[in-house]
């Protein structure tokens, strides 16, 4: 809203006349508060025009005392103009403001200088308004659209509406996340394209079209071209609906922003309608899915990032729960049939047999489905979620390797648990441990291995990086939860009185050379899953470097 004041009297008078007419042709109001701040009500462009007046002591309230506003034709996106009927001292006259190309086309004379200046300012990303007047009879009390013809051009006012801070950074982040930003504006095509270029929305090879060109295209043509069009200028709100449907034709998820009543159909039709919380109308807010309380594009990008992080956390927690649950099923099914047959003579026909007791299973579920899962949901995984394309809206949650990951980890953990049971069982058989003691001893070994491995698995899932390359402080919640669960497994297995409630054997009762196997083997195998995952991560890192 800066402007230049010419020093010769003629231009100063013309300049003040232009500013005064621009003030009268507004519906906005501004009020100077006692603390020298301005309270502004209305369209930001119009409040900018009123601020121009304040700079040279032209106040709207004072001007209206001698220039009574009788009637007005409000701005609409079809005409791209606004007009007011003013009762002056001696005569009535019309003031019209609007898009320069439209206003100048309705003037009796359109100077080449004005057209060139409009194009020059538009190329510099200025928003340009043209102003014109027309004298009418004193008896005229109401305007119609025909009155907006044969006007007398009085000047142009250029305003810079700079993008908000960090918008370009947010647009670049959105593009790196596989999101295509598209500008739809009522501004001049040149202005819109210049701004879009500066923000990185318009790139070499992209197209920019006007509302007239869009209207001339059939829906089929728009569907063919929509992916290459980055800027729509001089577009009516109704055209937004066509653009939304054209993108949805390509099975794309479309987020649309809007603030006006006419934006409601497009907001409703889009996959995610985002209404402006400050400048938006009640109709647009009711039609939308999301309301931006700060009217800021940066907030949309932050919300996308937060949504992706939340989705990844959900997948991680589900992966953790599924691995331990699927492992329990595999161990129970294989163990009940295989070990009962293999160790039949040692167990005995009449002895009650179990691989894991009900209380042991509940304890493992409580530990692995409890604190570690909560901790995984609270910490940041460290993944740059804005460096990948969006997931397909119909994509299965087990896609992108998650299903395979569940199977691989479950198989590894099952093998470790069954191996612990089998080795301890074979050693116990050679040591003449039989009957219920044998069942309790092997069950204890299986419980310790499965419980420890499942407790420590959250350390593997907290990041794609090796646990030796991540910050302990950053993931301290996961470490604390894992080690607490780890301690609870050992507590249940080895503390006298507690272990009997879980149907586990007192390993310390043995005083032979096999004691270390009964004690240490299940614990060491409990670290097997996290060690195997470290090898898998190392292999994937080597593969990634090789592919680069």
* Distant-in-sequence, close-in-space partners of 9: CB < 8 Å, separation ≥ 6: none
With H, G, I as helix, E, B as strand and everything else as coil, classify residue 183: strand
Cα–Cα dist 95/74, whole Å: 12
Q: What is the H or E stretch that residue 522 is in? A: helix 515-526
**17 contacts 154 by C-beta, under 8 angstroms:** yes
Cα–Cα dist 52/237, whole Å: 29
Cα–Cα dist 368/370, whole Å: 5
Q: Chain centroid to CA 193: how far?
A: 25
Task: Determine how many CB atoms are found less than 10 A away from the CB of residue 215.
Answer: 12
User: Which residues pair with residue 131 across a beta bridge?
Assistant: 97, 155
> Each residue's pLDDT tens digit in the chain (548 positions)?
444 444 444 567 888 899 999 999 999 998 888 888 888 888 888 999 999 898 888 999 999 988 899 999 998 877 889 999 999 777 899 999 999 989 999 999 877 888 889 889 988 888 899 999 999 988 888 999 999 999 999 999 998 877 877 899 999 999 999 999 999 988 889 889 999 999 999 999 999 999 999 999 999 999 999 999 999 998 887 789 999 999 999 999 999 998 888 899 999 999 999 999 988 889 999 999 999 999 899 999 999 999 999 998 999 899 989 999 999 999 999 998 898 888 888 888 878 888 999 999 999 988 877 888 889 888 887 678 898 889 888 888 888 888 999 999 999 999 999 999 999 899 888 888 888 888 888 999 999 999 999 998 988 888 888 888 888 888 899 999 999 998 998 888 888 878 888 888 776 666 556 667 777 889 899 999 999 988 988 888 887 777 76
Cα–Cα dist 365/326, whole Å: 11
For the entire predicted model, the pTM comes to 0.78
Interhelix angle 476-494/358-368, rounded to 10 degrees, is 160
Taken in order of first residue, the domains within the chain and their CATH numbers are: 9-159 (3.40.1110.10), 182-300 (3.40.50.1000), 306-547 (1.20.1110.10)
**331 contacts 414 by C-beta, under 8 angstroms:** yes
């Amino acid at each position: 809203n800066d402007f230049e004041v010419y020093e010769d009297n003629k231009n100063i008078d013309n300049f003040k006349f232009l500013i005064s007419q621009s003030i009268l042709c507004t519906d906005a109001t501004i009020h100077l508060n006692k603390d020298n701040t301005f309270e502004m009500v209305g369209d930001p462009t119009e409040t900018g025009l009123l601020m121009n007046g304040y700079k040279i002591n032209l106040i709207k309230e004072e001007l209206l005392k001698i220039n009574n506003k009788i009637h007005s034709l409000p701005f609409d996106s079809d005409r791209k103009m606004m007009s007011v009927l003013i009762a002056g001292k001696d005569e009535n006259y019309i003031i019209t403001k609007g898009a320069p190309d439209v206003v100048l086309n309705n003037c009796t004379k359109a100077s080449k200088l004005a057209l060139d200046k409009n194009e020059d300012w538009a190329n510099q990303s200025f928003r340009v308004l043209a102003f014109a007047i027309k004298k009418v009879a004193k008896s005229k009390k109401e305007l119609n659209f025909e009155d907006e013809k044969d006007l007398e051009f009085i000047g142009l006012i250029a305003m810079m509406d700079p993008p908000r801070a960090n918008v370009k950074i947010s647009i670049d982040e959105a593009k790196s996340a596989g999101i295509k930003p598209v500008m739809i504006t009522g501004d001049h095509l040149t202005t819109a394209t210049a701004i879009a270029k500066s923000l990185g929305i318009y790139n070499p090879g992209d197209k920019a079209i006007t509302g007239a060109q869009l209207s001339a295209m059939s829906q089929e043509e728009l569907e063919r071209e929509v992916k290459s069009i980055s800027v729509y200028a001089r577009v009516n709100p109704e055209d937004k609906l066509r653009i939304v449907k054209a993108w949805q034709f390509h099975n794309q998820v479309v987020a649309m922003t809007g603030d006006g009543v006419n934006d409601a159909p497009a907001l409703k039709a889009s996959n995610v309608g985002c209404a402006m919380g400050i400048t938006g109308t009640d109709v647009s807010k009711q039609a939308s899915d999301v309301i931006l309380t700060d009217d800021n594009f940066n907030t949309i990008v932050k919300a996308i990032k937060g949504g992706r992080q939340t989705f990844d956390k959900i997948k991680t927690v589900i992966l953790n729960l599924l691995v331990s649950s699927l492992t329990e099923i595999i161990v129970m099914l294989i163990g009940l049939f295989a070990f009962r047959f293999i160790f039949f003579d040692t167990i005995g026909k009449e002895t009650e047999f179990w691989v894991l007791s009900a209380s042991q299973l509940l304890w493992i579920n409580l530990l692995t489905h409890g604190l570690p899962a909560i901790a995984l949901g609270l910490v940041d995984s460290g993944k740059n979620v804005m460096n990948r394309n969006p997931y397909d809206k119909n994509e299965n949650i087990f896609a992108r390797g998650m299903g395979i990951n569940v199977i691989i980890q479950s198989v590894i953990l099952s093998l470790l648990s069954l191996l612990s049971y089998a080795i301890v069982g074979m050693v116990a058989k050679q040591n003449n441990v039989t009957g219920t003691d044998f069942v309790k001893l092997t069950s204890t070994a299986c419980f310790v291995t499965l419980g420890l491995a499942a407790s420590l698995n959250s350390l593997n899932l907290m990041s794609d990086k090796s646990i030796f390359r991540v910050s302990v402080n950053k993931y301290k919640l996961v470490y604390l939860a894992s080690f607490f669960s780890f301690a609870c497994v050992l507590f249940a297995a080895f503390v006298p009185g507690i272990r009997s409630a879980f149907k586990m054997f007192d390993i310390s009762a043995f005083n032979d050379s096999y004691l270390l196997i009964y004690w240490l083997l299940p614990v060491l195998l409990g670290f097997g899953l996290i060690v195997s995952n470290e090898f898998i991560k190392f292999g994937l890192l080597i593969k990634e470097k090789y592919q680069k």
